[in-house]
Amino acid sequence: MWQLSHSTTPDSDKHVAKNLELARKSVAALKARKDLGFFKLPERSDLWTTSENRAREIRKTSHRLAVLGMGGSSLGGRALMQALHKWNKTHEIEFLDNVDADRFWKWLRNTKDLQETHFVIVSKSGNTIETLTMAEFADQHLRASGFKKLSASATVISEFEDNPLMRWAKKEGVAALEIPKDVGGRFSVLTPVGLLPAAYYGLDLSQIREGAAWAFTQDELIARLTAQTLASFEREEWITQFWAYSDGLRDFGLWIQQLWAESLGKASDRTGAKAPRASTPMAATGSSDQHSILQQVMEGARDKFVWFLRVNQSENDTQKIEKTLFDCQTLMNGKSMGQLFGAMATATRDAMAKEGVQSLTLTTDVLNEKSVGALFMLFELVVGSLGEAMNINAFDQPGVELGKKLARGILTGESAAK
């Protein structure tokens, strides 16, 4: 599946070696926790079955799914769809994950077949102001356009608690799927949050589940990735660059940015003391971003640790150039695009190493349901293990609450100081 195929900082490096035992203990401590459910999701058959059954029902009456959700309620599903894109799809998905009024209304007003669109409203808390606002305006537009009200073609995904979204669903008879209480929003891709869109799109949930279950068994791989990261913090590399040599992993980069930043960027540890510093995550795609940010990585401050993600399928195609059109391209005669892609990835990694930029490389043979399911679970376990090693709560996000409070104050006209 996924393997740590290369590292410019081997396990014998003093920074990595001394953190490896801590990392192994952190993996064990994470898995021993009874309050966390994300790594138990492959065992929870009801979530997979209800997602598949509901998707089957929706597909009968629609050809488009419109997912209304913010952050973790959207990013995981988007990343799944992009990684496993179907070029001959019959059912499409639109993710509406920002209250940009211009874009939202252009989409809504220019979608002529809304009667064949099914809306999925995703909010773990059931009171996310952006998500509920999008739902309000979608309902308003549907009614004004002579279509059925929103509740006639909608599914809710939320915690099964008493919250505004669930109360509305119950009142209107809207089908609801559960986000378990012990699974945080940014860890929810393997709940109906990601599984319903995946099943609607025609993906094989059993393979996603099998991949996630595989990742759960990879304690040594999780520990080595955790140790490498802790070592990078000791080297004061405060940017962790996730550089995917696969177009299918562009949105995965956005997903890992949220998972990493919200989980590890904390002011206090679990004792109330100042938390250890964690890096800032950044996503890049090769080879396109070699033409945008590589200069900064190569000649800027030595404060970056790079994770390369490579997919053999993208580098091993057999279609080759028979005769080049351009005189500067003779080196490509008899070569494939995949060979060029692989050469770029290897050369970039090696050039960084020569300039003192440390990196590791994770490789898989192919992007499919199994490998993508494994990748999601693998990163969740690494981030959770880092939280244990750093003695922080990796499963809350207190830093985002103030902004929400101030926004509500602006809308109600109340003093920001209250």
Report the pLDDT value the prediction gives residue 278, as an integer from 0 to 100: 98
Report the pLDDT value the prediction gives residue 13, as an integer from 0 to 100: 85
- 177, 241: one domain: no
Residue 51 preceded by cis peptide, ω within 30: no
Average pLDDT rounded to a whole number, residues 137-154: 94
Report the pLDDT value the prediction gives residue 170, as an integer from 0 to 100: 98
Residue with tokens 């988007």: 78
405 falls in which pLDDT band (50, 70, 90)?
confident
- The residue out of 144, 176, 206 marking a domain boundary is 206
CB 303 within 8 A of CB 239: yes
Report the pLDDT value the prediction gives residue 221, as an integer from 0 to 100: 98
pLDDT greater at residue 90 or residue 277: 277
- 28, 43: one domain: no
Beta strands in 228-271 (DSSP E): 239-245
Beta strands in 202-303 (DSSP E): 239-245, 280-285
To 5 degrees, how large is the angle CA 303–CA 307–CA 311?
A: 155
- 194, 167: one domain: yes
Catalogue the long-range contacts made by 401-405 (C-beta closer than 8 Å, 24 or more residues apart): 404/129
210-259 pLDDT, tens per residue? 999 999 999 999 999 999 999 999 999 999 999 999 999 999 999 999 99
Given 85, 86, 274, 404, the catalytic residue: 404
Does the annotation mark 418 as catalytic? no
Does the annotation mark 266 as catalytic? no
- 218, 367: one domain: yes
Given 52, 178, 237, 262, the catalytic residue: 262
- 245, 196: one domain: no
Helices and strands (H, E) in the chain, number of each type: 15, 10
289-312 pLDDT, tens per residue? 999 999 999 999 999 999 999 999
| Domain boundaries, position 80 | 38-206
Given 34, 112, 171, 291, the catalytic residue: 291
Classify residue 218 by its DSSP letter.
Answer: -
Nearest Cα residue to 218 out of 358, 375, 65, 327? 375
415 falls in which pLDDT band (50, 70, 90)?
low
pTM value is 0.95
308-344 pLDDT, tens per residue? 999 999 999 989 999 999 999 999 999 999 999 999 9
CA distances from 278 to 151, 328, 391 (A): 43, 45, 12
71-118 pLDDT, tens per residue? 999 999 999 999 999 877 789 999 999 999 999 999 999 998 899 999
- 351, 287: one domain: yes
Does the annotation mark 404 as catalytic? yes
Counted domains in the chain = 2
Residue 128 lies inside a defined structural domain of this protein: yes
